[in-house]
Structure 1
């Protein structure tokens, strides 16, 4: 009987162990395979090196108890570099079994110089270069990655989306913070007696920044799978998966709570209980909403001690939400000012991110300020004023070129008003051929200042410009009023000469009374001095109206002819404020013409600023200003023509190439004689600038991140920099994230090979001669 009992216990133990180990799927189902299309120099030699490299990796996995290994074989000029990675929940034998399954697939790829296979349990890749170890996204041939797939069975669990969303976010945040860039965890639903399993893993040879970027993409894609019960994501640098079906053992999880907690602790700020805040806000009810902040809603909350606070609730909408939350917490906790709300605490629960702030009763801060500000700042208000307002007539004008002429007229009104002593202008514009007149006036509140008046006039101009070609329009804001109409609303003798105002106030020279005797000579000296000062001021006024020494005032018609009426074929590109055209002048010289169309109130001012900047600053990396032209709303700059691409290819292209070699210190002018600390600071600024030019735009940092990097001395060395869009890719490997597909990549590679072959043939013919 005892023997029977022992046998029964052993059988039960074996059954339990078997069931536990069965959580790992040992079938090694193939998910993805890719075989490159670029042929090696010698297929026979390359395949030999590939097999040798893969056998070396297998030996490392089997004999050195590894789950990640790399190897290479450089024999015969056909280099092969390979890497293999197994999920950390596998045993060595299971890892080798998965590798063998991948090996059998890879050996069938006999034409390409690169390939990879992906299973749920492992990943194998080989190439003829080793850059992919540290930068997995680089490839000579399009790999098609990233990939993602979702199950087709929705979950029946209550609040499934919210809970699993928070779970996946924690996994993606924790993975780059572990030593081996791997996380496996579970999230239980006690009431439903269910568990969700999740893992994430980055290539071990990549860096923390690249892993984080890949995890952000994984989180976004897996979030799209919800409420389905499973989903997986793969990119060349990472893999992530979740499922309600177990695929690793429960004792193989990693405590991610401690990982996340260690990276997010605030001094002086209390970590509130989520349930306490939920209760204090009456479950975040509509009645408790105070307003909407930068990233979410703000609720009034009454804590257990009856103190009143404001709770800002942020719902996670994307992978970077938690990072933005942390930035906001750090900002508020580190900056103290009498006009900033005090941070009292914070709370994180799944996808809900909460800030607990000081509560300000009876509205916002401006109610406590002395409220006579509207004299000088008319736009300030304790209650919504609804301003600005604008209205347009419903009758269109029949006058030829009405829009262009009235637009120019209104821009003159806008510019002149802030330059008068009483902030008021009334003027007319006549259309002789049509026997018609347009009346216009503008006025700012007299107690305001010139800057406020100018700002209000800019808004007025924009709104009235929208009324054209209607015969009348009105604009009102708390600091100004403007109107135009074909119907007279003031007398013709009540206009103000705005031409003199726009040209600038001429200085007056006092008349010196005659004198007798030896005083005459003294008076002549004084008069000469005054005339000299007058001439000097007059020259300065002329410079203020964009008259440039050395810059020619070109005829608009000549430039129109030189650019073939600004045709599409002549477009070189688009600059900061408009299009740039190639132009051939009458003397057959080639120039670049930058055309700025007036789109808003400040366009002419921006044009003048750009003219002044280029005319006054001389540098070998700045295009030379040859001339300019103004015709109505068209503002033109005539610039030196630079063939074979734009300036950024010469400037930032050089910076990028130096950075790739980690010698961007050479980009700094040696004549500056910087010390070591200054050199490091300038190099960091170059790196930040390159970070801001990455493609795609989503890889670029936000302005708040740039400010933090500059203020706190953070380095961008840990962040992966990708090549800017303007760097020539003709002789570079293609990044998967670029807009070029695999065909485009092959074309670039083929073109490079053709150029090399042509050069070799040319050299051979030269030798024969």
Structure 2
């Protein structure tokens, strides 16, 4: 283990956990992973459901401080009444040690031992049953002991990454271990995956209890009801199937309609709306040039107004291959279910012969490149530029790590970043390359538009090696363009040597003057020089030639959002532009027949 890289990654992971816990969303649970230079650090933090956000963060900070005192090991776990924090150099998220654990009992015994024991056992038994059935694996409840004028407080909680059955088994074990504490007036049972506590001293408010009564059904009784219900339901279902079959036979005879078919990989997804060709013709006045707002490798783009008055963007392209025709519905089902503030929404589609029309939400402000260099060119403020960088990073992190399949965009550039009315970024055209003709999915300097070599990672351009880090590289180039106000292709004359924007940025960084990369149109009072240099350094990290040295986009989000996190100094690329051009001119294929159930590659 490389200690330096490990502890740098540990700091990034802990920072990400703290940021998540700080959000005022009522969720006191966070996981994070950092992988840079081959050293992984997984982290998890959880606070009890009754704890406020401020107290949750305070407990986390205290726990982290204690973990740092423990030493420089590759894993540690801290437990407290209000929170617990853990990190390891391996994936422990599914851990729930149900055979061993920690039991901490109080040293005061209840004066009415029998009655106290019975009440506590009833309370924690109910919590054990109810907690796995809650949406957040947390429950808090009380139990009155009238003769003692005493109220017992109890909670149970499981980590959200566990399955319901594992949570149930973990709490069953903790429930048994708490029996060793009775009739003491308080006790705690701690495990890797769950936590239980009871006490005669209040530790949460009476207004913070969970209504567990509806969750206490008996499994055996429920099974009996299920059997009876299943028999009755089965008979009803059989009758419905027969009725449906008769209706379908009659329906086929009358109009020859056929039952729609769906593929197993996408049948649970909500597919995009299907528009009629006539509706799109009316929306664009027969695809008039007056409605045309763009074009490129994906075909032509039109602004249209639908019947309901909604303004949309309509992309017209050609599905010239059997591959695209066979797979396009599966592809569109995947793309249309992507929902994120910083990603353009696919509303629907229309297919007519070889033509495919994609209907997207419309962005009146157009694309980022128009703001930086084009007809809408204007001097974006430092705050606006940072928001665009940060939003784009968040959108890519969602595509790579937070959607149910991994989507690799492959074509990140300023023209594929659109801006809404508040100048917030939305990434466009993710997942569409696969729908293009085969000749459009090859990389060639003769091809104008998409897959421009100025944005493409060297390992992809030269060897066709594809991973999420290809998008990370392109993102780094886009950041340099946003910061400098210059195109990546612009040749910069620096000391009589022709340089690309990336080379220029590296030279400035190596001389310690990379703040000079910032756009001259920006007022120096708008930004802090150290902040600007850090963003440039993050961009250069993203463009490193060693793929493993580039951060994941979730790590980029953390680096951008937390000034206290120190990034690892970037190392300059060993690839040369001339080498790439030689390979690119040979039109290396970027298509692949490889598939994976958990990874969706845009254009794969």
TM more than 0.5: no
What TM-score do you get using the length of structure 2 for normalisation? 0.36
Higher relative contact order (CA closer than 8 Å, sequence separation 6+): 2
